[in-house]
Amino acid sequence: MRENQLKRKLKQGEVVLGTFVNCAYPAFIEICGIAGFDFAVIDLEHSPLSVLAAEDLCRAADCTGLAPVIRVGANDRLQIQRALDIGSAGVQVPQIETREEAQAAVSSAKYAPLGTRGLSFNTRAGSYTAAGNVTERLNAESLVVVQVEGERGIKNLDEIIAVPHIDVIFLGPYDLSQSLGIPGQVGDFRVMALMEMAVQKIRAGGKAAGTFADNPATARKWMALGVQYVTIGVDVAIFLHACQSLVQTVR
């Protein structure tokens, strides 16, 4: 069982860079590792990826030392369990709005006595036949990221921050803009003000703050404000922009 270097870096106060992965072809996530990203979020919420495809992406990520984090489709016990059983470095849970929802996500991600994660060692996470204190080690190594991405979640942020065993609170700018009635306007001062306030609260509460950036300038801005867990772009969009640049340059 490998030590979770992504979790270690966050605990040491380092900034980690990642991207979202929607493509099932393992070479794409392998390239992310070769390029120097610390982690990749394998997206089972907005992409067509299956759990089986995600497991192969985890293997490819491991080949380059890239930490694979699985974003599940919902705060669902079975989805969270399967995301961890396939050997990911952690799970990212969307649309957390209350302390109770945050507690449920943690409980699904941790074995007893910390939670209620179903127990089977015949998984990639358990090296298929793991024995000994594996539950204790997996509890210690697994990363739990909860997404706060709506106005209600921001209002309940203090209670969410207080939930034990959450490593990262990820602020979703696009869903937050939608909850404020200005969908897609992530640069609007109302979105920015709420997110900046939230980052300060998260850091003061001893958690790492995370968010999504469309471009390097936005990523650097959030890093300067104390965001540690920074996702830049999505593989399909990165490929699209690279292709557009090539075509426009040649023509």
- pLDDT above 70 (res 202): yes
- Number of residues that this document lists for the chain: 251
Tell me the three-class secondary structure of 19-50, residue by residue: EEECCCCHHHHHHHHHHCCCEEEEECCCCCCC
The mean per-residue pLDDT over the stretch 105-129 comes to 92
What is the set of active-site residues? 46
Tell me what pLDDT residue 101 has: 98
Confidence band for 39, pLDDT divided at 50, 70 and 90:
very high
Per-residue pLDDT at 218: 96
Q: What is the mean pLDDT of residues 210-223?
A: 96
* Percent of the chain whose pLDDT exceeds 70: 98
Q: Is 234 left (phi over 0), alpha (psi -120 to 50) or beta?
A: beta
Residue 92: both structure tokens together: 């990212």
What pLDDT, on a 0 to 100 scale, did the predictor assign at position 193? 96
CA 100-144-105 angle, to 5 degrees, is 25
Measured in whole angstroms, the distance separating CA 91 from the mean position of its chain's CA atoms is 6
Compute the distance between CA of residue 174 and CA of residue 24 in angstroms, rounded to an integer.
Answer: 24
Q: Which domain holds residue 182?
A: 5-250
215 vs 127, residue with greater confidence: 215
What's the pLDDT score for residue 133?
A: 75
CATH number at residue 150: 3.20.20.60
- State the average pLDDT for the chain: 96
**Alpha-carbon dihedral angle through residues 187, 190, 194, 199, given to the nearest 10 degrees:** 30
Q: Can you tell me the mean pLDDT for 110-118? A: 96
Q: What is the pLDDT of residues 156-201, one digit of tens each?
A: 999 999 999 999 999 999 999 999 999 999 999 999 999 999 999 9
Whether residue 106 contacts residue 115, with contact meaning beta carbons closer than 8 Å, is answered with yes
| Cα separation values, 234 from 2, 40, 56, 115, 131, Å | 26, 10, 18, 32, 37
Tally the domains of the chain: 1
Provide the 3-class DSSP secondary structure of residue 216. Answer: helix
**What confidence score (pLDDT) does residue 132 get?**
65
Question: At CB < 8 A and 24+ separation, what contacts does 191-198 make?
Answer: 194/151, 194/154, 195/171, 196/225, 197/154, 198/148, 198/154, 198/157, 198/169, 198/171
pTM for the predicted model, two decimal places: 0.95
Each residue's pLDDT tens digit, 14-30: 999 999 999 999 999 99
Nearest of 127, 125, 148 to residue 212 by alpha carbon: 148
3-class DSSP state for residue 115? coil
